[in-house]
Amino acid sequence: MIQIQKVSKVYQTKDRLVKGVDNVSLEIGKGGIFGIVGYSGAGKSSLLRCLNLLEKPTEGTILIDGINLTELKGKQLRQARLKIGMIFQHFYLISQKTVYENIAFALRAAKTPKQQIDDRVTELLEMVGLSEKRNVYPGQLSGGQKQRVAIARALANNPSVLLCDEATSALDPKTTLSILRLLKKINRELAITIVLITHEMHVVKEICDRMAIMQDGKVIEEGQVYDIFSNPVAELTKEFISSVVSFEVPDTILAQCTGTIVKLLFKGNVAGESVISETIQQFDVHGNFLHGSIEYIQEMPLGTFLMELQGREPDIERAISYMSTRHVHVEVINNGD
């Protein structure tokens, strides 16, 4: 488990102090994938670097598996860092060294016995799907392949935690998906705790169990990814989610609607049930779909639909009441007045 307790990080600029991280407390469960989301300057990367003390917190405590990193120095801190792997947006591979040598470098730095290095590098290359690239130089690799090498290097010393700082931001969508699937595989097979920094909500939706939203150095919302997608509270969270699940309907279409416009939220198994068709059949109302989708988050469906209900007001009210009893969250957007 990672415990972040009242952590702040203050930077001295030319003329003032800037608080990059402001009194953040989080608990990240062992073996999970935790996403930290925010725009540039939100403090998410500063917080991530505090986790392995690349940035020493100005205040607060970082505990990983019960060890207080903020109390360690010198050799003890270096030893603790061996159990915290890290990958970056720009890979940071050594261009003059082959793929094999880039991974072996991490093992040599940890003073791994020479006879064990080759076996470990071979194992890691197979894990990330690059066995045939062992003698190739980074300049001959694609962006996705470079990130796979960086992941293998970060895993070299069997870390219990893997920190990912915008690890997919420099990659195209198809390659991003392949890297995210690799990270999920690593998490499941090796039980490594992954902390992932990103400004892309679809990355969190794809692989994270829990997440936090940061703004101005503070955590403004935190919880299970599914719960936050289905019921966001903070305006910034809603803004991020809208980048993945959009429900905007052109004003020209809305202007043509004369009925009651409702937003329907279906969670879990309810998303697969025929609640809408049953409602229309049982009550004297007509439905006109304006927009809708079903997303799968942590392999659970989350359906959201925008529709126009037409009919007598009492019938519409009964229809809305019925859907609510079927565990559908109904929000009236416009009552047709």
The model's confidence at residue 247, banded by pLDDT at 50, 70 and 90, is low
For residue 40, count other CB atoms closer than 10 A to its CB: 8
- State the chain's mean pLDDT as an integer: 89
103: amino acid identity, one letter = I
Burial of 46 (0-12, 13-18, 19+ CB in 10 A): buried
Instruction: Give the C-alpha separation, 39 to 192, whole Å.
Output: 26
The model's confidence at residue 110, banded by pLDDT at 50, 70 and 90, is confident
Whether residue 285 contacts residue 319, with contact meaning beta carbons closer than 8 Å, is answered with yes
Question: For the segment 2-47, what is each residue's pLDDT rounded down to a tens digit?
Answer: 999 999 999 988 888 889 999 999 999 999 999 999 998 899 999 9
Percent of the chain residues topping a pLDDT of 70 = 97
297: amino acid identity, one letter = I
> Is residue 136 helix, strand or coil?
coil
Residue with tokens 């997608």: 229
* Angle between helix 143-155 and 173-190 (nearest 10): 20
Centroid of chain to Cα 84: 19
In DSSP terms, 3 is beta-bridged to: 27, 63
Instruction: Give the C-alpha separation, 319 to 86, whole Å.
Output: 53
Instruction: Give the C-alpha separation, 213 to 42, whole Å.
Output: 9
pLDDT value at residue 138: 93
H-only helix segments in the chain: 44-51, 74-81, 99-109, 114-127, 143-155, 173-190, 201-207, 225-230, 235-242, 251-256, 275-282, 313-325
Whether residue 18 contacts residue 11, with contact meaning beta carbons closer than 8 Å, is answered with yes
Closest CA to 159 of 108, 106, 102, 210: 106
What domains can you pick out in the chain, each with its CATH number? 2-242 (3.40.50.300), 251-334 (3.30.70.260)
42: amino acid identity, one letter = A
Strands 59-64, 67-68: parallel, antiparallel or unpaired by DSSP?
antiparallel
321: left (phi over 0), alpha (psi -120 to 50) or beta: alpha
Instruction: Give the C-alpha separation, 157 to 155, whole Å.
Output: 6
Residues in CB range of 68: below 8 A, 6 or more apart: 61, 62
The model's confidence at residue 164, banded by pLDDT at 50, 70 and 90, is very high
Closest CA to 142 of 177, 175, 168: 175
Whether residue 250 contacts residue 285, with contact meaning beta carbons closer than 8 Å, is answered with no
pLDDT value at residue 337: 56
pLDDT at 328 over 90: no
Question: For the segment 265-278, what is each residue's pLDDT rounded down to a tens digit?
Answer: 888 776 556 888 88
Look up residue 250 and give its DSSP letter: -
Whether residue 235 contacts residue 204, with contact meaning beta carbons closer than 8 Å, is answered with no
